[in-house]
């Protein structure tokens, strides 16, 4: 595999580590950390799609008036906008998951999901 696909495969490895933690771990806080790792890996993968070799940030300085030259060396701004919303949504979802974990601890006294058995309405 060439250097052109190695960053993508490493992002995929990170994604699979997050997935492994969600599926195979028994502690709710560990599962929440697995969701966090998965979100980081997906943001990284989206970011890698937009990079250009030797590219600069898509912010135009007051001295740059040449639109053609700017558009030829800038990185893609579209994935960055989508990732920006994704990061803040990730924080909101993390806070909601932590609220659920706190409630579960108050009810059952443990974070271990194999001991949380009684689901009453």
Partner 1 sequence: MPAGMSLIVKTVARLAVSFITVFGIYIIIYGHLTPGGGFAGGTILAAGLVLLLLAFGRQRARQIVTHEAVITWDCMGALGFAAVAVLGYVAGGFFVNFLARGEPYHLASGGTIVLSNSAIGAKVGAGLFGMFWALAAFRSSRTKEEQP
Partner 2 sequence: MDPVLWVLLALMAFMIIGSLIAAETDDLLSAVVCVGAVGAGLAIIDLFLGAPDLAITQIVVETLSVVILIRVVLTRKDETHETHKDTLLVGGVLLTLGVFLVIGAWAMTALHPFGEPLLAGEGGGVASDYLARGLAETGAANYVTAVLLDYRAYDTLGEATVIFVSIIGAYVILRQKGRLHHAGGNESHR
Interface residues for partner 2 in 35-64 (CB under 8 A)? 36-37, 40, 43-44, 47-62
Distance CA 20, CA 9 (A): 16
Q: Of 29, 78, 91, 100, which one interacts with partner 1 (CB under 8 A)?
A: 91
Q: Other C-beta atoms within 10 Å of 44: how many?
A: 16
Distance CA 85, CA 37 (A): 17
CB 25 within 8 A of CB 31: yes
Q: What is the nearest approach in angstroms of partner 1 to the Cβ of residue 60?
A: 8
Partner whose binding site includes residue 112, from partner 2, partner 1, none (CB under 5 to 8 Å by kind)? partner 2
Q: What is the nearest approach in angstroms of partner 1 to the Cβ of residue 98?
A: 7
Tokens of 117: 């058995």
Interface residue list for partner 1 (CB under 8 A): 57, 59, 62, 84-85, 87-88, 91-92, 95, 98-99, 102, 106
């Amino acid at each position: 595999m060439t250097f052109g696909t190695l960053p993508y495969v490493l992002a995929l490895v990170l994604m699979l580590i997050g997935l492994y933690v969600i599926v195979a771990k028994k502690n709710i806080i560990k599962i929440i950390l697995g969701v966090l790792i998965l979100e980081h890996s997906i943001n990284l993968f989206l970011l890698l799609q937009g990079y250009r070799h030797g590219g600069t940030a898509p912010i135009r300085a007051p001295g740059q008036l040449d639109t053609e030259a700017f558009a030829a060396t800038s990185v893609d701004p579209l994935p960055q906008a989508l990732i920006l919303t994704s990061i803040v949504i990730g924080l909101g979802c993390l806070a909601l998951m932590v609220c659920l974990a706190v409630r579960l601890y108050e009810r059952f006294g443990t974070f271990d999901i194999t001991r949380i058995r009684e689901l009453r309405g």
